Structure 1
C-alpha cells in the first residue's frame, strides 16, 4: 500500500511543503514514484517519518535527526537517554520551586509581607540559583530546609526585626546585642545547610549579588555587612584566649577593618577549587597572595601575631563557625600560599 504526498500530509498533520523539503534534503525520500512522477510512500517511509517527528519533539535539528537515523539504533538510544536525564532535572527543579512557592504563598497570606530571612527563596530553582548551586546542592538545601524553615520562622522574624531596628538606630556592630544577634543568625543558617561552610558562603554570595532577594527577604547589603561586622567583633573577643593584651590592642585597630574583603575572596577561591584548578595555577596564586596580604593586614602587619591567629583558627571550632572556611578550603589555600615561595612565572 502506498500513500501519495497529499494523503500522507493530511493524515500526519504535516504540510506538503514540509514533506517535499524532507525529500529535497534526503531526510525522507519516498520509496516509489508513480508514472506521473508523484511521490509514493510505503510502510517503511511512514515508520521513518514517525521517528523523525518523535525526534523533532526533542528539539533536534533536521541535520542531527538525519545523522541519527543514518546510524545504528544506539545513537537514538543515547539521545533519548540524554533528553530523559534533562527532563528529570527540570522536573526536580520545578517540583522544588513549586514547594517553595507554596510556602511563600502561605507566608504572604498569613502576614502583609514575608518576615523571615529566607536566603534561598524563589530564585533558587531559576536563574539565580543555577548561577550559584549545582542541582545536587539545590537538592541538599531543599532537603535541609524541609520542616526547618517553618519551625524557626518566628525566631527569624524576630531576628530580622531586631536587625532592622539596630541598623536604623545606627547601633555599633560591636555591641553585645549585635554580636548575640549575629551569632544566632549564623547558627540558624549553619543548621539549615547542615553545617556546610561551602553552602553557607554560596548563600552569602547569592544574596549579596542578587538585588531581587534584598527586597523579598528584607535584608539588604547594609544588613549583611552589619551581621558580618558583628561576627568579626565576636571572633575578636575569642582571640583574647590566645593573645596577650598588647596583641589584642593591635587586633582591635586592624582586625575588623578587613571584614568586607574576606567573603568575595573566599568565594573566588572556593570556585577555583570546585573547578579543579591546581593550587599553583596562575589565578589561584593571585588569590593566595591577596589572602596572605589580608591575613597579615588584620594582624596589623605583625607576622608573629598573624601566625598565632592562624594557629588559633585551626584549633578553635568556634572561630571557624560561619567563616566560610572549612578544612578542604584551608588546605587548598594553604598549598597555594606555600607555592608563592617557589619560583613560578605567571
Structure 2
C-alpha cells in the first residue's frame, strides 16, 4: 500500500505543510516517488509517522523524536524524566495561574467600581511577587493579609505621603519629624508583616523593580531616607551611652549593611526554628557573618563591644524592624562564645615521626 501525501495527511490529521517539513528535516522521508514526482508513503513510512505522532504527544521536540526513533543518543529513561519534570512545571504554573485569577477576582469584588487601571496594577503587582516569592511564601503572605483584613495598602498610604512630604521639603533624616515617621513606618510594617524574612524579600523586590516603585510610590530615594532616619533613631539611643569616637563607624556601616543585618537575623532565626543548637556548623557559619558585620560597625575595641552588648539589654527598640529579638540575641551570644573558642584553639602542631 502506498499513499500520496494528501491521502496520508487526511488519514493522520496532519497538514501537508507539516509532512513537507518532516521530509525537509529528514524525520519522515517518503520511500518512493511516482512517475509524476509525487511523494509516496508505504506501510513502513506510515508506521514511523504514527510513532512520531505518539512521541510528539509527550511534548518532545522534533530533534528528540528523531533521536528516539533513530536510536541515536536515545536515553529513554532520561527522556521520560525530563518530560515528567516539564509536566510538573506546567502543573505548578497552572496552579499559580488559578490562584492568581482567584485572588484577582476577590480583589476586584472588593472594589465597588473596579477600573482598568486598578485591574492592571493589581495584576502587575501579583506578577512581580511571583518572581521573588515561593508559592508557600505567597500563601503565607495571603494569610497575613487576610488577618489584617487587607490593611497594608490603606495603612501605609498616609505614611508614604508623609515620607514624600519630608523629602520634598528637604527635611534631614536626623530631624525629629523624620525619626518619628521612620519609627511609625517600621512599627507599622512590622505589625502588618511580622515575618522579617518576608519583609526583607519584599524590600529587595522594591529595590529591583522600578515598576513596583511606580505603583507604590516608594522609590529608592524614599527607602534610603527611611533607612537613614531609622539609623538616626538608633544613633540617638547609642549616644546616651557611647562617645562620638566609639560611634565613628556606626552610621556608614549600618546604612551599608542594613539589608545584610536583616538577612543574618532571618537566617539565624530559621536555624533556631529548626531546633539547631548555636554550636551547629550551619548556625556557626551565619555567626561568622554576624561577627564581621559587628566588627565593621564597632571596630575591635573590646570595651566598646562590652558596652554595646549591655546597651542591647537595656534598649529593646534597637531591634526594631530588623527582627532582632531577645531570644535571637541570646542564641547568637551563645553561638559567638563557641565561635570565639574555636577560633582561639591552639592548632595541632604535632608532627608525625618518620
* TM-score interval, smaller chain: 0.5 to 0.7
**How is 1:129-168 mapped onto 2 (pairs within 5 angstroms)?**
130=131, 132-146=132-146, 148=148, 150-168=150-168
1:183 maps to what in 2?
183
CA distance in 2, matches of 1:100, 1:155: 20
For structure 2, list consecutive stretches of 5 or more residues without a partner in the other structure.
271-280, 348-354
For 1:27-176, list aligned pairs within 5 A: 38-41=40-43, 44-45=47-48, 47-55=50-58, 58=59, 60-67=60-67, 78-95=81-98, 97-98=100-101, 103=107, 122-123=124-125, 125-126=127-128, 130=131, 132-146=132-146, 148=148, 150-176=150-176
What SS does structure 2 have at the residue aligned with 1:171? coil
- Residue 296 of structure 1 corresponds to which residue in structure 2? 298
Aligned ranges for residues 246-285 of structure 1 at < 5 Å?
Answer: 246-247=241-242, 255-266=250-261
> For the Cα contact (< 8 Å) 2:152–2:192, is it kept in 1?
no
SS of 1:247 mapped into structure 2 = coil
CA 1:316–1:302: 2 relative to 1, 3 Å: same
| Match runs of 1:194-233 below 5 Å | 195-233=194-232
1:261 shift after superposition: 0.6
Going from structure 1 to structure 2, the CA distance change for 1:160 and 1:247 (only over 3 Å counts) comes to: same
Q: Is the 8 A contact 2:254 2:297 kept in 1?
A: no
1:295–1:306 CA contact under 8 A, matched in 2:
no
Q: Which blocks of at least 5 consecutive residues in structure 1 are unaligned?
A: none
Measured after TM superposition, the shift of residue 204 of structure 1 is 1.6
Determine the C-alpha separation between the residues in 1 that align with 2:209 and 2:237: 33
The residue correspondences of 1:310-325 to structure 2 (distance < 5 A) are 310=309, 312-313=311-312, 318-323=317-322
For normalisation by structure 1, the TM-score amounts to 0.66
User: Aligned partners of 1:167 and 1:259: how far apart in 2?
Assistant: 21
Alignment length, in residue pairs? 319
In structure 1, distance between residues paired with 2:77 and 2:266: 37
Q: Give the distance between the partners of 1:317 and 1:121, measured in 2 at CA.
A: 39
For residue 12 of structure 1, what is the aligned residue in structure 2?
A: 13
CA RMSD of aligned residues (A): 5.1
8 Å contact from structure 1 (residues 296, 306) kept in 2: yes
Question: Any idea what the Cα deviations from partners look like across 1:266-293, whole Å, max 9, x if unmatched?
Answer: 478699999xx97899xx97x6675244
User: Which is bigger in relative contact order (C-alpha 8 A, separation at least 6)?
Assistant: 1
Displacement of 1:86 in angstroms is 0.8
